[in-house]
Amino acid sequence: MSSAARTLPSAGPRRAIVLAAGVVMALVIALLAATPAHANTLDGVWHNPYGNDELYATQPTERSPRDPMAGENVTVRATTWPIASGQSVWVTWSVNGVAQTPRGASWDYNSGNNTYWKIDLGSFARGDDVEYTVHADVNGGVQRDIGPFSFATTSWSTVTDVTNVIDNGTSVDIVTGDSAGDFTPKVRFAFPRLDGYDVQIAPNGSGLNLSGLTSYSVTNGASQVTIATSQLVLKIDKSPYRLSVYKGDGTTLITRQYDPAQFRNIGWASDGSSTVTKIEDHFLSPAGERFEGFGERYDRLDHRGTDVHNYVYNQYQDQGTSRRTYYSVPYFANSAGYGVHVPSTRYAIFNLATYRSDMAGFTVDTGGALNSTMTYQFFTGDQTAMLDDLTAETGRPLLPPKWAFGLWGSANEWNTQAEVDTWLNQVDSSGIPHSALVLEQWSDEATFYLWKDAQYTPTSGSGSLDYADLTFPSGGAWSNPKQMIQDAHDQNIKVILWQIPVLKENFTSNPSTAPQQHLNDKAYAAAQNFLVKDGDGQPYRIPTGQWFGDSTVPDFTSTAATDWWMSKRAYLLDDLGVDGFKTDGSEALFGRDLQAADGRRGDEMHNAYPNEYTRAYNDFVQQKTGGDGTIFSRAGTSGGQSQSIFWAGDQSSTFGAFQEAVRAGQSAGQSGVPFWAWDLAGFTGSFPSSELYLRSASQATFSPIMQYHSEKADPTPSEARTPWNVQARTGDTSVVPTFTKFANVRMNLVPYLYTEADDSASTGVPMMRAMSLAFPGDATAATYDQQYLFGSQLLVAPITTQGQTVKDVYLPSGEWYDFWNGGRAIGNGVKQYYAGKDTIPVYARAGAVIPLNLNDAYQLGGTIGNDVETYDNLVFRIYPLASSTYDYFEDSADAHRTISVTSDRVARTVSVSAPALTTAATYQVSGTKPTGVSVAGSALTEVSSVSALASASTGWF
């Protein structure tokens, strides 16, 4: 058997391949259509109904479809090896226990050392139970068999008329008929809050467990059931079942389910007796309604007219065109004023005016149990209010440490201490403030917790090593990592180390063989059941061809496995003072039958595993750093925001990817993920132009987290996205000074950033706010996906098109002030804004109060350090409105300080009311020069210059 053939069984669930000498059936078999490499040879046959169970790819030995429904033609595909003349393939099979005439396979194609076959079984009816075994022989002998396999044929059915109403005190059950006549379905409603409800659909009437508030009423009328709270009214037509949702007045319609005379609303796929595989619901959606959210989505903000898959996936580049994402959230906000969240990690598809132009729905996999239910949460209000409710359910965003809001630097090529030392020196000499250093290529690329080239005596798999156990030879990649990290800390720069959740299997280079410590760890993890298991209870292996293919995966649902895994990494924080981890990967579980220690199977764990991974690392880092560390992650789903900062993954260095990143940041924010970043100017592909680099840097200055990163490990010339390297590579001498200005602006913004971040952590409101979220009453604003409200006060419109210098900026109704020069503009229209590469269109809304940390010259973008704890000059920049307030987060006192502003344009006065602060503050009011300034009735002294103001204890200029 060739090595290619051997990979086939290992790629799927392990099954016994039965060798048998059976009677050859009289079948019509297609002969091989190619000249065989061997004669009269058959080493094996393989078929796996589900393949890798991957959404975006199929294997050549799968069943199609994987889960047949009534009327669908079923094809079984198989392979034999080696290629040889005289081979035959067939299936023996039964339907509902009745044997069928064996059916022969037709030759499909040859590839490598394998022949591929397909067998058409035809279509089946609802309730048909089909069992089959795949056989192969060569010239009537050397028979090989695999199986048996089976499937239950399902079809869709739906609710009919309401037959009963049951008030449980904390929930209401609506009992209906079943269009197929098999079940007694129930739909349960519960109210976790007065302005929203949860629904649980139970096709066979069992498995219900929802409960909520008691403050609702039920009216069971002749033709309609009404369930009402003080803020929401649900009206359910009885014949047939159809829900309409109204505001508390009972007359203002929010939405209603789809008309069952046109197409089912609530439905489920079942065989009628043993399984329910999918449950769905559909709503009426008039033209023009927008559907936004769904996690980090790169291609658009409004998903109307598309099908959206709730499926976490490692998509290298082209995330927008492929419509795939690392971070998927089964939640949408509808512009009609409602949102839906499906609190399930199983696969779901949202069909948004695709199947029918006025219908939007969602279909959720169940796992197949007969008593399966599907729950969804229904929210009302604008997007901000709904995100507050959503994150109250799924987890409040974790506020990052304050240092995380400075500039981060990263490059894969920083794989030696000499490289890092050079970078630290360049940061220092350039005066460009940085607050974090991310090292990806630091480890041995085997254990991923020991430094590359470190020498040590391997310990047992159960043991752990300390820094004192490591020595660093002359000429190695790292000579003294502890000192290096201390050097970074001395520059007020935190250090983040890269991680991946695998026990690596294949070694070809870097290193070429697995070190003994790694082998000890692998053996121990397998013996202790610390690994995710496949359907046969053996250690699961990532499919060949995937990133880290064939590797095993630690099971973070096991406390013992998590503790063991983290014990290996404890020295990095305890002995070296590392400040966190870049938790990459985790989109690697494929297969519905995988087994996790907490009892969940692969169909749930595919999307859930990233959250288990980030939860484990975040708990570890928070405990070790006392809350001053963070993790930086790529993948996740609902709830991930309570554990990590996230970044947009592997994007190319193009303007198209730049535009996708701007959408992705807004979309993530609309889905409850406020702390987000991207690799400014891209991660891979062609080296960015100075134009792309500076445009990206200006945008990243006004994004939740600002960082640069590059892919290549040992490039010549350097691929690092540092400003000095970009300047050297492009020859554009404006890069370093312009980037320096943006980096300084970033540090100027830290008081504002941390105040807005604190609000995000408390309420779920994003820092990077899509226009539809920030201005819910403005339908025109919603169409602008390349601008956003940054925090509550600043409108940012990055230039994301190559060669563009004039941006059409849409300003919503009201007054707006240019953040750079104070120029006033009137909104409710488009303003053309000229911006060279050294700036970006940014406006402050009228009434804004923006806390800044400025230098003594009060220069926005002027030289300033990277200290986020002590401000050089706390300044509140005020853009007066008749009346406005701003809650400033004074983190040093753990207090929120309300600053109130009133202005009278007739009297030409502005009044600012501010509480006492622990830091001296300057109040900078946008407007014409005043005739005088007073505090508590006492006039302040006018000084002659900015420098005089900086040195005075009080005064005005």
Write out 500-517 in H/E/C secondary structure: CCCECCCCCCCCCCCCHH
CATH at 225: 2.60.40.1760
* Residue numbers of the chain with a pLDDT score lower than 50: 1-36
Q: Note whether 162 and 138 are same-domain residues.
A: no
Dist. CA 384–CA 756, nearest whole Å:
14
User: Half-sphere exposure (CA, 13 Å, Cβ side) for 879?
Assistant: 22
Dist. CA 138–CA 44, nearest whole Å:
11
CATH at 128: 2.60.40.10
Dist. CA 401–CA 436, nearest whole Å:
11
Residue 860 lies in a domain: no
Q: Note whether 90 and 196 are same-domain residues.
A: no
Write down the mean pLDDT value for the chain: 95
CB 413 within 8 A of CB 710: yes
Q: Note whether 252 and 164 are same-domain residues.
A: yes
Residue 165 lies in a domain: yes
Dist. CA 69–CA 326, nearest whole Å:
30
Active site residues: 584, 587, 650
Local structure of 783: helix, strand or coil: helix
Dist. CA 83–CA 116, nearest whole Å:
9
Residue 200 lies in a domain: yes
Tokens 């009080």 correspond to what residue? 954
DSSP lists the bridge partners of residue 244 as 235, 256
Question: Can you say whether residue 936 is alpha, beta or left, with left for phi > 0 and alpha for psi between -120 and 50 degrees?
Answer: left
Note the pLDDT of residue 37.
52
> Which residue range forms the structural domain that includes residue 288?
155-380
Task: Say if strands 645-647 and 676-677 run parallel, antiparallel, or are unpaired.
Answer: parallel
User: Half-sphere exposure (CA, 13 Å, Cβ side) for 365?
Assistant: 19
Question: Helix axis angle, 750-763 relative to 383-394, nearest 10°?
Answer: 70
Q: Note whether 109 and 228 are same-domain residues.
A: no
- Six-digit token string for 556: 């973070």
Q: Note whether 159 and 149 are same-domain residues.
A: no
Q: Note whether 125 and 245 are same-domain residues.
A: no
Q: Note whether 119 and 196 are same-domain residues.
A: no
φ, ψ of residue 130 to 5 degrees: the values are -115, 130
φ, ψ of residue 925 to 5 degrees: the values are -100, 125
717 upstream amide cis, omega within 30 of 0: yes
Residue 323 lies in a domain: yes
Local structure of 286: helix, strand or coil: coil
Residue 646 lies in a domain: no
Cβ–Cβ contacts within 10 Å for residue 292, how many? 25
φ, ψ of residue 196 to 5 degrees: the values are -160, 165
Q: Note whether 164 and 292 are same-domain residues.
A: yes
Helix-strand-coil percent breakdown of the chain, rounded to 5? 20, 35, 45
Dist. CA 733–CA 724, nearest whole Å:
9
- Six-digit token string for 308: 């959206």
φ, ψ of residue 571 to 5 degrees: the values are -65, -25
Torsion, Cα of 516, 521, 522, 526 (10° steps): 140
E strand segments, 323-406: 328-334, 338-341, 348-352, 359-368, 374-380
Last residue of a domain, one of 365, 380, 395: 380
Dist. CA 435–CA 863, nearest whole Å:
15
> Which letter does DSSP use for residue 945 in this model?
S
Tokens 């254990």 correspond to what residue? 447
Note the pLDDT of residue 510.
86
pLDDT tens digits, residue range 368-378? 999 999 999 99
Residue 492 lies in a domain: no
Alpha helices in 649-722 (DSSP H): 655-670, 690-701
Q: Give the number of domains in the chain.
A: 2
Q: Note whether 339 and 219 are same-domain residues.
A: yes
Rounded to two decimals, the pTM is: 0.95
Residue 28 lies in a domain: no
Tokens 């995937």 correspond to what residue? 546
Dist. CA 379–CA 341, nearest whole Å:
8
Last residue of a domain, one of 362, 380, 398: 380
Tokens 């100017």 correspond to what residue? 681
Give long-range contacts, CB 8 A cutoff, 24+ apart: 562-570: 562/616, 564/462, 564/524, 564/525, 564/528, 564/530, 565/530, 565/616, 566/616, 566/617, 566/620, 567/464, 568/447, 568/449, 568/464, 568/465, 568/521, 569/449, 569/499, 569/620, 570/464, 570/624
CB 612 within 8 A of CB 557: yes
Residue 539 lies in a domain: no
Note the pLDDT of residue 596.
98
148 upstream amide cis, omega within 30 of 0: yes
Q: Note whether 310 and 206 are same-domain residues.
A: yes
What DSSP line would sit under 704-764, residue for residue? Answer: SSEEE----SS-SS-----HHHHHHHH--TTHHHHHHHHHHHHHHTHHHHHHHHHHHHHH-
Q: Note whether 197 and 228 are same-domain residues.
A: yes
- Six-digit token string for 259: 């008309």
CB 581 within 8 A of CB 526: no
Q: Note whether 190 and 137 are same-domain residues.
A: no
| Single-letter amino acid, residue 528 | Q
CB 820 within 8 A of CB 796: no
Last residue of a domain, one of 329, 362, 380: 380
E strand segments, 823-865: 824-826, 829-834, 842-845, 849-853
What letters, b where the CB count within 10 A reaches 16 and e where it falls short, cover 352-370? bbbeeeebbbbbbbbebeb
